[in-house]
Amino acid sequence: MLYNKDMKVKTTNFMHYNMALVGGIFGGFAVCNLGEIFGNAQTLNLISIVYNFVYCDFETLLLRIIAALLYFLGFGAAVVIPKKLRLHSDAISLIIDFFAFIVLLFLPKNVNLIISLYPIFFATAFQWTAFEYIEGYSCSTIFSSNNYRQFSTSLIEYIIDKDKSRMTKIRVFGLTLLYFHIGVALACFASLFFGRLSAVVGIAALLPSAYLLIKKRLIRLKNIKLNKTS
């Protein structure tokens, strides 16, 4: 079996939507279990850094500065690891997400909420960079603001202009939004019954992408072996 271009596109697209599901689980888990704080992005944290400085809450300020640095390190790792170690960022992202959910699963409840968000800050920053594009569009798998804008504007443009070329963009951003919020719903329902143990749902959500990566690798190894013997 050859790993052709069509299979590559299908695998890439499936993984993108699957990781949007995982991103939604991270977001829903944090909102439900960690003080209703959305840990996938930095806007609130960066605003809070200024707020804590102005109001002289230096203990919280330090915790939030560390959170911002972890997000920065997540971006940095996503850039450096593929270049220096020649490892695929998508596979590394799955591993980092897995360990982030493990940490969330076993964190004591008395840990400061900001510290509890640290695994999410790092993992989602890495994931954002590892799964940044789909079908030529920059489309985040960890939050929805820009995706919602892109979906809305392209849909309105299609309604006005009847330009069918907009349909790909509508599909890409629409499906990403859909899978992200399915992930949020899964995290919320699981948290309702199991609390922080609902992190297991995130681990389970990683399995389809992990299976595809392993399958892709095995096909490539098989093709290399066939080429050598032919």
- pLDDT tens digits for 27-82? 999 999 998 999 999 999 999 999 999 999 999 999 999 999 999 999 999 999 98
**pLDDT surpassing 80 at residue 223:** no
- pLDDT tens digits for 145-164? 999 999 999 999 999 988 88
Each domain of the chain, given as residue ranges in start order, spans: 5-218
**CA angle 148-211-134, nearest 5°?**
30
The class of domain 5-218 in CATH terms is mainly alpha
Nearest to 93 by CA among 155, 26, 48, 31: 26
Nearest to 106 by CA among 207, 186, 197, 202: 197
**Mean of the per-residue pLDDT values for the chain?**
91
Position 226 scores a pLDDT of 61
- pLDDT tens digits for 96-139? 999 999 999 999 989 999 999 999 999 999 999 999 999 999 99
